[in-house]
């Protein structure tokens, strides 16, 4: 799928020289599209030698967007305007499709450019009539826009542009953000302010930010956005709102971004005046068909629907005794004439069933494989519970041969410190994407499921639950921008390495100074593991406080639903701790392919990082290190707090090397994170200790508060819940 030839590691030529003075202020608004002037004279001169003038051919809103970006980006980076030419001369940056430029056409002799499809691009250095030139091309205008962003990235990350030969195309078709944004602008699990969408002033007022949002997404290849919360409100499907949605779609369209909406299954009742939403009833079918027609009259390239049905109180086909397939197909048929898709979420677990929650989605959907219309994708969270700091991959990846399964990652940090803790999530994404499902033997990794190559899916997709709000810096925590960036990069190339993505992002967003890069890389690359260690090491999960999910709450029990409590998941008692998902327990291991069933199912071979996910383990069980389980648990929790302190020390060393504004912001947040990590560690260990009855080894700093103290911590009014 991927034919990317440039490698940041290979072609970095210019290192050193900080681009930022410590007195600089940067509020983070520009994200990774800062285009600060290149300060290193020799680098700048080399670039200016190669790019002396520009030609952009073609006429379309997308080409205009590409032209605006390249002119703005280059003049900002160069500190001088680059002249726009009509004819090719020495040092020309020639941009266009083979159709719009006869010179470019000459290189491809009338053929479309194979290997880059209809969204990819090619960037190459070449000669035209004796002049050295650089070409950015694609088969489509949006391919060119992506190429322009890639080219600007080369300059922003100070790579050589002398001998370019780059071809790149996306590995996944539908690359989306999911906004859990409500119509009152509150964002479910959103921590970066209110929703960007100002429904009350749309469609008349177009906030300039909408365009910057589109630019940022296009720069990482995101081509779709679901505007509304999966806990859906049917009102968004009324004409009053469709007009507003259409206005947003108009802003996003030049940037290759389609809009999607969440469909509330009971909409025919709530806004249509019907008595039922039964998917097999004629009037319900008609209602959705008409609704789709109406939506497309407002938004001709509307992407389709995302649906959460029969999950956590949302209505769905099962209310009428119908299956998920019958529900999904109803909507799929309605949007099919217009090339729309339906993304039907597999995040379901029943109120009534006593079955292990981790097993329920598979049990529900596996029997429906092959029963869906061909424009339905099943959207599956990365793990079988719910975006925990660490989960094994969801067993539905690999289980659905005939129905496309798409990925849902959470970019917003619901369980990983929200907008306060520094957590770079790409290592989590990478771990999941590279997990081998063994669906067709060794080498059946999750990324091959979602890029469609394993089962030849006709549609492929990936979605990230957005962490964006109207905070000036978009994502709350300054480093959280990296998670938005990484989601886009992995959607484009699901095999990309999290560390390379981080390096690019640091270079563009902070500095090309090697010391800054090295330091920030170390902090970012350890941050997710640190977060696992101080919250839920060794496969523990769902130990967070009730409702807001921010702090610790391993003692949570006796709530209306057992599977919303921590005790349900830790199963801590005098004999040990952990959830038995082997044959003697819930047998969730049987949902995986062999050899994983056996590997996970055997306490001796189960990876220790998932041990308590799959096993109830005695407190004095001997771990590979020689420690007992209790000692190992203590060791991990203390390692977690040490790692955060290490992150803090490293960050402090950046003072004066990056701008003061963001330096101080992260510095302050890290102080809170250290405090919180200690709270997590102490609270969890003190609680588990009531069962293990073993001491926290003396070599560790002992908790300075009692369990009762931690149990009384009551955070009120946290955002997002």
Active site amino acids: 312, 386, 414
Q: Is 230 in the site for ligand GCW (CB under 6 A)?
A: yes
Judged by CB, which is closer to ligand GCW: 229, or 509? 229
CB of 381 to ligand GCW, least distance (A): 7
SS3 of 65-88: the string is: HHHHHHHHHHHHHHCCCCCECCCC
DSSP 3-state of 463: strand
Confirm if 494 and 438 have CB atoms less than 8 A apart: no
Q: Which of 60, 231, 233, 238 binds ligand GCW (CB under 6 A)?
A: 231
Q: Give, as ranges, the residues between 297 and 326 that touch ligand GCW (CB under 6 A).
A: 308, 312
Q: Is 125 in the site for ligand GCW (CB under 6 A)?
A: no
Query: What mask, x for binding ligand GCW by CB under 6 A, covers residues 402 to 431?
Result: ------------x-----------------
177 strand-pairing partners: 225, 464
CB of 415 to ligand GCW, least distance (A): 8
Q: Among residues 167, 165, 124, which one has the least CA distance to residue 146?
A: 167
Judged by CB, which is closer to ligand GCW: 180, or 550? 180
Q: Which of 189, 258, 394, 548 binds ligand GCW (CB under 6 A)?
A: 189
CB of 212 to ligand GCW, least distance (A): 26
Distance CA 504, CA 498 (A): 10
Q: Which of 19, 26, 364, 386 binds ligand GCW (CB under 6 A)?
A: 386
CB of 565 to ligand GCW, least distance (A): 14
Q: Among residues 706, 710, 685, which one has the least CA distance to residue 695?
A: 685
Q: Is 534 in the site for ligand GCW (CB under 6 A)?
A: no
Q: Among residues 356, 401, 409, 351, which one has the least CA distance to residue 379?
A: 409
CB of 346 to ligand GCW, least distance (A): 11
Q: Among residues 291, 292, 223, which one has the least CA distance to residue 259?
A: 223
Q: Is 191 in the site for ligand GCW (CB under 6 A)?
A: no
- CA-to-CA separations, 185 to 231, 306, 315, 453, in angstroms, rounded: 14, 19, 22, 39
Judged by CB, which is closer to ligand GCW: 188, or 369? 188
CB of 561 to ligand GCW, least distance (A): 13
Q: Among residues 97, 106, 94, 103, which one has the least CA distance to residue 52?
A: 94
Distance CA 195, CA 178 (A): 12
Helix (H), strand (E) at residue 675: helix 660-692
Distance CA 279, CA 329 (A): 9
Q: Is 347 in the site for ligand GCW (CB under 6 A)?
A: yes
Q: Give, as ranges, the residues between 192 and 211 that touch ligand GCW (CB under 6 A).
A: none
Distance CA 19, CA 17 (A): 6
Distance CA 464, CA 443 (A): 25
- CA-to-CA separations, 644 to 344, 358, 666, in angstroms, rounded: 38, 30, 13
Q: Is 180 in the site for ligand GCW (CB under 6 A)?
A: yes
CB of 465 to ligand GCW, least distance (A): 7
Q: Is 387 in the site for ligand GCW (CB under 6 A)?
A: yes
Distance CA 558, CA 203 (A): 47
Judged by CB, which is closer to ligand GCW: 278, or 414? 414
Q: Is 401 in the site for ligand GCW (CB under 6 A)?
A: no
306 strand-pairing partners: 262, 343
Judged by CB, which is closer to ligand GCW: 51, or 411? 411
Over its C-alpha atoms, the chain yields an Rg (Å, rounded) of 26
CB of 94 to ligand GCW, least distance (A): 46
Number of residues that bind ligand GCW (CB under 6 A): 11
Q: Is 569 in the site for ligand GCW (CB under 6 A)?
A: no
- Chain residues binding ligand GCW by CB under 6 A are 180, 188-189, 230-231, 308, 312, 347, 386-387, 414
């Amino acid at each position: 799928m991927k034919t990317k030839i440039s490698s940041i590691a290979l072609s970095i030529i210019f290192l050193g020289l900080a681009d930022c003075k410590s007195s600089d202020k940067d509020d983070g608004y520009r994200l990774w599209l800062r285009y600060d002037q290149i300060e290193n004279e020799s680098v700048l001169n080399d670039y200016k030698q190669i790019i002396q003038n520009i030609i952009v051919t073609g006429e379309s809103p997308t080409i205009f967007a590409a032209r605006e970006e390249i002119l703005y980006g280059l003049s900002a980076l160069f500190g001088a305007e680059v002249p726009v030419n009509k004819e090719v001369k020495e040092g020309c940056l020639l941009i266009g499709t083979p159709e719009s430029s006869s010179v470019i056409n000459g290189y491809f002799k009338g053929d479309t450019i194979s290997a880059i499809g209809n969204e990819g691009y090619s960037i190459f250095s070449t000669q035209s009539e004796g002049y050295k030139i650089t070409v950015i091309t694609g088969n489509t205008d949006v391919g060119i826009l992506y190429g322009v962003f890639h080219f600007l990235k080369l300059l922003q990350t100070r790579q050589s542009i002398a001998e370019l030969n780059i071809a790149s195309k996306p590995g996944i078709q539908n690359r989306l953000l999911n906004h859990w944004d409500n119509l009152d602008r509150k964002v479910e699990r959103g921590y970066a302010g209110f929703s960007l969408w100002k429904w009350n002033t749309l469609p008349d007022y177009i906030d300039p930010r909408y365009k910057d949002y589109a630019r940022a997404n296009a720069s990482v290849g995101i081509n779709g956005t679901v505007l509304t919360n999966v806990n859906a409100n049917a009102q968004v499907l009324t004409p009053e709102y469709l007009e507003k949605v259409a206005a947003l779609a108009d802003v996003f369209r030049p940037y290759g971004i389609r809009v999607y909406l969440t469909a509330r299954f009971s909409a025919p009742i709530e806004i249509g005046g019907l008595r039922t939403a039964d998917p097999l009833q004629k009037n319900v079918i008609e209602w959705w068909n008409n609704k789709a027609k109406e939506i497309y009259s407002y938004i001709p390239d509307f992407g389709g629907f995302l649906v959460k049905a029969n999950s956590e109180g949302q209505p769905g086909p099962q209310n009428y005794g119908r299956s998920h397939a019958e529900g999904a197909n109803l909507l799929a048929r309605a949007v099919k004439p217009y090339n729309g898709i339906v993304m039907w979420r597999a995040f379901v677990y029943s109120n009534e069933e006593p079955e292990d929650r981790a097993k329920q989605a598979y049990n529900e959907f596996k029997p429906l494989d092959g029963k869906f219309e061909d424009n339905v994708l099943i959207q599956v969270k990365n793990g079988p519970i719910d975006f925990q700091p660490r989960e094994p991959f969801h067993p539905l990846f690999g289980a659905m041969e005939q129905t496309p399964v798409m990925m849902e990652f959470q970019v917003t940090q619901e369980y990983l410190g929200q907008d306060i803790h520094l957590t770079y999530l790409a290592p989590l994404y990478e771990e999941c994407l590279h997990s081998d499902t063994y669906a067709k033997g060794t080498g059946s990794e999750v990324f091959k499921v979602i890029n469609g190559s394993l089962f030849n899916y006709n549609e492929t997709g990936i979605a990230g639950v957005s962490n964006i709000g109207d905070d000036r810096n978009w994502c709350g925590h300054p480093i959280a921008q990296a998670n938005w960036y990484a989601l886009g990069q992995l959607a484009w190339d699901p095999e990309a390495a999290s560390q390379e993505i981080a390096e690019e992002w640091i270079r563009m967003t902070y500095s090309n100074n090697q010391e800054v890069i090295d330091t920030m890389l170390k902090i970012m690359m350890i941050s997710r593991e640190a977060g696992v260690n101080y919250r839920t090491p060794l496969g523990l999960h769902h130990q967070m406080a009730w409702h807001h999910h921010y702090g610790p709450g391993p003692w949570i029990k006796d709530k209306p639903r057992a599977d919303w409590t921590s005790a349900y998941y830790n199963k801590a008692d005098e004999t040990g701790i952990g959830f038995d998902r082997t044959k003697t327990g819930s047998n969730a291991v049987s949902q995986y392919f062999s050899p994983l069933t056996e590997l996970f199912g055997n306490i001796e071979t189960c990876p220790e990082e998932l041990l308590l996910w799959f096993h109830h383990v005695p407190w004095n069980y001997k771990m590979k290190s020689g420690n007992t389980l209790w000692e190992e648990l203590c060791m991990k929790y203390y390692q977690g707090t040490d790692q955060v302190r290490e992150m803090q020390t490293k960050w402090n060393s950046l003072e004066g090397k990056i701008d003061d504004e963001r330096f101080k912001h992260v510095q302050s947040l890290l102080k809170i994170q250290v405090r919180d990590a200690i709270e997590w560690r102490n609270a969890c260990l003190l609680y588990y200790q009531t069962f293990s009855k073993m001491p926290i080894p003396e070599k560790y700093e002992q908790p300075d508060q009692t369990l009762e103290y931690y149990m009384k911590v009551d955070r009120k009014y946290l955002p997002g819940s």
